[in-house]
Amino acid sequence: MALITYTLKTLQNSQRSLLSACSSTLRHPVGYKSAISLETLYPTSSLKITTPIFDSSNSNEKFSGYIPIKKLDITYSASSGPGGQNVNKVHTKVDLRFKLSEADWLHPDIRQKLIEIHGKKLTKEGYLVLRSDVTRFQQLNLADCLQRLRQMIRNAAEPSPTSDPETAEIIRKRHLRAVRQRLLVKREEAQRRALRQPPTIQDL
Amino acid sequence: MASRQIREKALNMLRSLPRVGIYNIRDNPGSRKTQKRGRGQHGGDKHGAGNKGSGQRQNYMRLGYETGNNPFYLRFPSENYYKGHHLKRQYPPLSLESLQTLIDLNRIDTSKPIDLAEIVKSGCYTFYPDEKQFGVHLTDEGANIFQAKVNIEVQWASETVIAAIEKNGGTITTAYFDPHSLFLLKNPKRYFQSGQAIPRRMIPPPDAIEYYTDASKRGYLADPEKVSQARLELAQKFGYELPKIEDDPDYEMLCERKDPRQIFYGLEPGWIINLKDEVILKPKDEQLIQYYSS
C-alpha cells in the first residue's frame, strides 16, 4: 500500500483553504463522496434542507390542512387530576382560542359553516375555544387541540348533502310506512286490551 | 496446487474424452463401506453390538434419553418472552433534559455538530457496543424545557424529540453505525493509536433500512427535500412556527452531514491518523481509493 504524507499545517489545496487548520471541526471538504452518498441515491434532489411554504392557491380544496399558528391564541395552565407536585407545577393544559369571525385564514364558506355548527359554543366575544389536558406532555396536548381543530374545519368543509327528488320521495314513503306501522301496532294492542274487559249491556 | 503441465494435460484429456455421465464415473475409494456382517475372530461373536441392553437387542433408546432421569433437553422450559432477544438491537436512552444539562454545563459544544462521539466525550453517557447496544436513543423527557439550537446526530428519536429540537431552530438526523464503527466512535483515540486505517461505515441491516430511509424519522439515507417537507408537517402537527433555517447564520453548520460511509466528521475512510506526529496518512493507490469510496 503506497501512502502519501500530509501534515495538517501544509494543507494548501484550494478546497482545503476553506478550512481553518486549527478548527477542531474539520469541515467536510467537497472531496469525499462514497458510492452510496445522497447524490447517487437521489440524483434529482437538491440535497438541501429548506423551509418550504404551504402554497394553497393552486388546489381547488377550501382547506389545505395548513393552520397559521401565529394567528391562534395559545395559553398553558396546570392540568387537573392526580399527580402530586408535578401536576401542580407543570403547565401541561393547553387552551387554544381564536376569534372565528376574524379568522381570515379560513375560507369564508368554512367560516360560515363553523359559525352555524359551533355558534352556540362561542364565548361572548366570539372566540372558539379548544382545551386539552389528555396527556402529561404540553406538546402532545397542543397536537391534540390542533388535530381536533383540523377535524372541525374538515367537517365544515365537506359539501352539504344535495337533496335529490327521488331520495326525498323515498324518505317520505319510508316515513309514512313507519307511521302506518306504528298506528297498526297501536290499534292491535288497544283491541287486545279491550277484549280483556268484561262484556257490557250493549254487547249482550 | 497442481503444476501448469498437469493442469493442461487434464484439460486436454477433458477435451478429447467422452462426456462424463453416470456410466463412466465411480465413487472415491473408501467413501462407501459394505454393510456386511463381520465374521471371524475380530468381526464375529457379538458382531459389534456389545452385551445385552438396548444396543444388542436392537431396541434403542430415543435420542436424548438419559435412562429415566430428567433429560437435558427437557430440563429448561422455553421462554418465549426472550425469543430472539439475542438478535434485537438496544439503544440506551439519553433524555433531552440531560442533553440540555450537558449543554448548559459546557460539556457539549453546540457551535459544532453533535454526534455519538461528542456525547460519549462529555463523560456523562456510556454505551457498550459489544452488548448489542447500537447507539443513543434520545427520549422526550424534558421536551418542554429544551431550548438549545443544535445539529445532533442520534441513532433513534421519536416525533416529540424531533419536534422539540426543530422548534428551537436545530436539526436532527438519525444515523446507523455498525458495531465496528461504534467501537471507533466510543474511543477514537484508542483506535487511532492502533495505527489502523479508518474503515467504511456499513449500511443498516434489512429490518433497519426502512427506518433510516424515512424522512419523517429524519433518516440519514432519506431525501433531504422530503426531510424539509416532513419538517413543515411536524411543525403543523405540534403547533409551532418553523424557523426559517436558510436565514440562520449557522445554516452551514446545521446542514453538515456525514456521508453514509463516513464515521467521523471531516475524516474519510482509508485515512490513518497519527496523533503523536499530528499527521494524516492518506492512501495513494488507485485500488485502495476506489475501495474506500465504494
How close B89 gets to chain A, by Cα (Å)? 24
- The gap from C-alpha B96 to its chain's centroid, in whole angstroms, comes to 26
How close A51 gets to chain B, by Cα (Å)? 6
Residue range A36-52: mean pLDDT, rounded: 90
Residue A30 banded pLDDT, cuts 50, 70, 90: low
Chain B (17-36) residues lying within 8 Å, Cβ to Cβ, of chain A = none
Close Cβ partners of B159 (under 8 Å, ≥ 6 residues apart):
B216, B234, B237, B238
C-alpha cell at A168: 326525498
pLDDT of amino acid A62: 84
Count of domains for chain B: 1
pLDDT of amino acid A3: 43
B19 occurs within a structural domain: no
Q: Do B223 and A38 touch (CB under 8 A)?
A: yes
B261: helix, strand or coil: coil
Chain A residue with minimum CA distance to B164: A139
Residue A28 banded pLDDT, cuts 50, 70, 90: very low
pLDDT of amino acid B20: 85
Q: Which tops the pLDDT comparison, A160 or A22?
A: A160
Q: Do A49 and B294 touch (CB under 8 A)?
A: no
Angle at A150 between CA B147 and CA A81, to 5 degrees: 60
Q: Do B164 and A139 touch (CB under 8 A)?
A: yes
**CA–CA separation, B260 vs B220, rounded Å?**
7
Q: How many CA atoms lie within 13 A of A74 on its CB side?
A: 23
Comparing CB atoms, the residue among A48, A137, A143 nearest residue B237 is: A143
B219: helix, strand or coil: strand
**CA–CA separation, A204 vs B180, rounded Å?**
109
pTM value is 0.74
Comparing CB atoms, the residue among A4, A47, A137 nearest residue B282 is: A4
B153 occurs within a structural domain: yes
pLDDT tens string A94-147? 999 999 999 999 999 999 999 999 999 999 999 999 999 999 899 999 999 999
Range of the domain at B145: 87-266
How close A109 gets to chain B, by Cα (Å)? 23
Residue ranges in chain B modelled with pLDDT below 50: none
Q: Is A5 a residue whose pLDDT tops 70?
A: no
**CA–CA separation, A79 vs A26, rounded Å?**
48
B136 occurs within a structural domain: yes
CATH number for region A62-156: 3.30.160.20
pLDDT tens string B151-171? 999 999 999 999 999 999 999
Q: Which tops the pLDDT comparison, A128 or A27?
A: A128
B111 occurs within a structural domain: yes
Burial of B10 (0-12, 13-18, 19+ CB in 10 A): exposed
CATH number for the domain spanning B134: value is 3.100.10.10
C-alpha cell at B247: 436565514
Instruction: Kindly provide the ipTM of the predicted complex, given to two decimals.
Output: 0.71
Chain B (107-136) residues lying within 8 Å, Cβ to Cβ, of chain A = 112-113
C-alpha cell at B116: 455519538
pLDDT of amino acid A24: 38
Q: Do A139 and B236 touch (CB under 8 A)?
A: no
Q: Do A34 and B223 touch (CB under 8 A)?
A: no
Q: Do A137 and B267 touch (CB under 8 A)?
A: no
B47: left (phi over 0), alpha (psi -120 to 50) or beta: left
State whether residue B282 sits within 8 Å of chain A by CB. yes
Q: How many angstroms separate the first and last alpha carbons of chain A? A: 128
**CA–CA separation, B193 vs B82, rounded Å?**
39
Chain A residue with minimum CA distance to B287: A1
**CA–CA separation, A142 vs A130, rounded Å?**
10
State whether residue A139 sits within 8 Å of chain B by CB. yes
Contact A40, B260 (CB under 8 A): no
Interface test with A, best of B144, B203, B263, B277 (most A CBs within 10 A): B144
pLDDT of amino acid A55: 72
C-alpha cell at B181: 464503527
Arithmetic mean of pLDDT over chain A: 84
What does the domain layout of chain A look like in residue ranges? 62-156
State whether residue A67 sits within 8 Å of chain B by CB. yes
